[in-house]
Homo-oligomer: A and B are copies of this chain.
């Protein structure tokens, strides 16, 4: 299948390209390298020593000598460039990973909030127009986030409210695609994914495009079975913006620092290892929706609270001799710290997704993957300074009785 990956140099884009190409799919890619730039600007860097994109290009061309890549930039020329690329490549599937993915980065100041919303919303909108013009039958695989739903204190379905939840007189709502489960996003970044969702639904309903909107939980890990040596590893961020919680805990454990749980630690989400994310996206790509269809896949392996993750990382690290403890930090976010959480991921299970069920072992693999790079860790990028109330103080460890 011809697959175009937007954001091919990113955390997910790079391993997805390797995996699809190894499976014999015809892949091409776009990137603007802004993720590398933003992590540098935070004073951080990928802990895994990822190579320059030129070297990555050589790796991809050693699998497929015709592999095509284009550098793109948001701005006045984007739409013309996208139309040209779609015309040229005629993708059957477009995987859109080219969005600003950090909630804290979007909350830092007005510039980054506006940049996040512009880049994500208008970027996707330009893509929808280019698809309508050049490849209206292609499948748009769009990365959303489980964070679109927030923490609703009830079972989260896949995109739509099940009819059993509604009394009959609003049963007939929205005949063109059911009643969307309410979105309640927790940052300017998460809101862009909600806005994308509504824009994509409109394009499917009005223009007959088709899309899979993936509500993905946080992904962890740096390797998948397709990776044969060090240059194949994907990036690993652990700074306060682009590092998600398991990443940060692993780095803290390697340093022997306390694992910093934000607030009470009951915040629960669906997580998945990198190889599961790549497998799930591949399943979606190889089983496309029908013309005009908009479908939602909730993508995660299982649910864990932050406290559970801290205990798992401490246990995994201890097995390699890294002893650490758990400390509670003032929560820089505004979020519920204890709540009910359960969600369906039936659509992917029905397509054949077999979740990797041993998270402890997956965390051990991650720690082993990171161990060679301990000396590269920059300690000062971990503690959060961006706060949802805009006070921009660094969070402090809070005493046990306040938790």
Which A residues form the contact surface with B (CB < 8 A)?
Answer: 79, 110-111, 113-114, 117-118, 121-122, 125-126, 129-130, 132, 150, 152-155, 161, 164-167, 169-170, 172-176, 179-180, 182-188, 191, 194-195, 198-199, 202, 205-207, 334, 388-390
User: Nearest chain-B residue to A180 (Cβ)?
Assistant: B182
Contact A164 B161 (CB under 8 A): no
Q: In the bound complex, what is the Cα–Cα distance between A205 and B114 (angstroms)?
A: 19
User: Nearest chain-B residue to A76 (Cβ)?
Assistant: B111
Name the distance in Å between A338's Cβ and chain B's nearest Cβ: 12
Name the distance in Å between A53's Cβ and chain B's nearest Cβ: 28
Name the distance in Å between A131's Cβ and chain B's nearest Cβ: 11
Contact A114 B126 (CB under 8 A): yes
* Contact among B114, B164, B175 for A125, CB-based, below 8 A: B114
Contact A195 B121 (CB under 8 A): yes
Name the distance in Å between A388's Cβ and chain B's nearest Cβ: 6
Chain B residues contacting A132 (CB-CB under 8 Å) are: 390
Chain B residues contacting A111 (CB-CB under 8 Å) are: 79
Contact A172 B198 (CB under 8 A): no
Write 24 A-B pairs (CB below 8 A) sorted by A numbering. Answer: A110-B129, A114-B125, A114-B126, A117-B125, A121-B121, A125-B188, A132-B390, A150-B174, A152-B173, A153-B173, A153-B175, A155-B169, A165-B170, A166-B167, A176-B184, A183-B198, A188-B199, A188-B202, A191-B202, A194-B198, A195-B195, A206-B334, A206-B389, A207-B389
Q: In the bound complex, what is the Cα–Cα distance between A274 and B119 (angstroms)?
A: 37
Chain B residues contacting A172 (CB-CB under 8 Å) are: 153-154
Name the distance in Å between A78's Cβ and chain B's nearest Cβ: 9
Contact A184 B174 (CB under 8 A): yes
Chain B residues contacting A167 (CB-CB under 8 Å) are: 164-167
CB-CB under 8 A for A125 and B154, given A170-B165, A174-B184, A195-B195: no
User: Nearest chain-B residue to A115 (Cβ)?
Assistant: B122
Interface centre among A110, A191, A195, A205 (most CB of B within 10 A): A110
